Amino acid sequence: MLMLEQMVVLFLLMGVGFFCYKRAIITDEVSRKLSSIVVNIANPALVLTGCMGEEKIKGSELLMVVLIMLGVYASLLVLAFLLPRLLQVEEKSRGTYKAMTVFSNIGFMGFPVISALYGSGALLYAALFMIPYNILIYTYGINAMSGNQKEEAQNQRGEKPSFSLGRILNVGVVACILTIIIYMTGAPVPGVIKTTVTNLSNLTAPLSMMVIGASLATMNIKALFTDGKLLLFSVIKLIVIPVAGVLLIRQFVDNEIICGVCMVMLSTPVGSMTAMLAQQYEGDYEMASKGVALTTVLSVATMPLVSWIVM
């Protein structure tokens, strides 16, 4: 029931964006500005909220979750390299498919579901997943979205690809570094800062979903369900990967809460940040938006299905 409620919230927010675009309240320029706010302010604030709880994970459980977390993301990065090629995705969309493979909607959908199913204490495990997630989304994600265009331009000019520290050390990664420092040192955070950061983080879900809704207003909705490659990708993303992943994790872990957290982390739909990055860094924004929308629709059925199979 909670999963269904979260889906209703997502669709209502997307509906607001759809309505605003049709009424010219949100224009293409406004949509780009909103994306910039999400990528550079709201989402980094969401990262920082992960270090502001009072409880800590210690000992063998912490080590276990870290090892699982590293294994999960390493596996997703390998799959992100293979899937676009196996599905014979067009070159312009490969970076977007890579990002969609790795990044799920674990913040807005995953956290509420985990809290309801396993209690607020389980969010500590989920918070650990957010640290590499956000480091990757501001490094690997940006590179995947902008890599093809930059490499093509450099090849035309006869230049070699150059390393950009600015691409790596951006506001998202700085937020992740601060989160790790505060979490590990237990440094006190003033209440006024907590309140400000929390309020900013609360902008992430509504703004990002409104932008997705606005993008849907420019799409052929029928085409959303007639893209064979995207449908096949969605089945792999929403069913095959989480079922195989959790069944494998269960061979080494008998902690039901940890397995449950992994199940939710892997079975959530494509994260809306994927579309935000595509718009900001010249990726295939239309494909990213379609991927977010389609997997979100399908996840209403696939998340309970995955839970029934593996838990």
pLDDT tens, position by position, 96-146: 999 999 999 887 778 878 877 887 667 778 877 888 888 898 889 988 888
Q: What letter would DSSP give residue 238? A: I
pLDDT of residue 151: 47
Question: How confident is the prediction for the chain on average, in pLDDT?
Answer: 84
18-27, 33-42, 118-127: range with lowest mean pLDDT: 118-127
The total of structural domains in the chain comes to 1
- Amino acid 88: pLDDT: 93
- What pLDDT was estimated at residue 161? 44
What pLDDT digit, counting tens, does each position of 64-80 carry? 888 999 999 999 999 99
Q: What value does the CA radius of gyration of the chain take, rounded to a whole number of Å?
A: 19
According to the model, what pLDDT value does residue 109 have? 78
Considering the chain, what percentage of its residues have pLDDT values greater than 70?
88
CATH of the domain at 26: 1.20.1530.20
Give the three-class secondary structure for 104.
strand
Question: Tell me, what's the pLDDT at 297?
Answer: 82
Q: What confidence score (pLDDT) does residue 96 get?
A: 93
247-274 as b/e, with b when 16 or more CB fall inside 10 Å?
eebbeebeeebbbbbbbbbbbbbbbbbb
What was the pLDDT predicted at 21? 95
At 113 the pLDDT is 82
Higher pLDDT, 225 or 176: 225
Domain that holds residue 235: 2-310
270: helix, strand or coil: strand
Share of the chain above pLDDT 90, in %: 33
Q: What is the pLDDT of residues 240-276, one digit of tens each?
A: 999 999 999 999 888 888 999 999 999 999 988 898 8
What is residue 84's predicted lDDT score, i.e. its pLDDT? 93
pLDDT per residue over 139-190, tens digit each? 899 888 886 555 444 444 454 444 455 555 678 778 878 887 887 788 888 9
Q: Which residues of 14-32 are buried (b: 16+ CB within 10 A; e: fewer)?
A: bebbbebbeeeebeeebbe
pLDDT at 216 over 60: yes
- pLDDT (0 to 100) of residue 251: 92
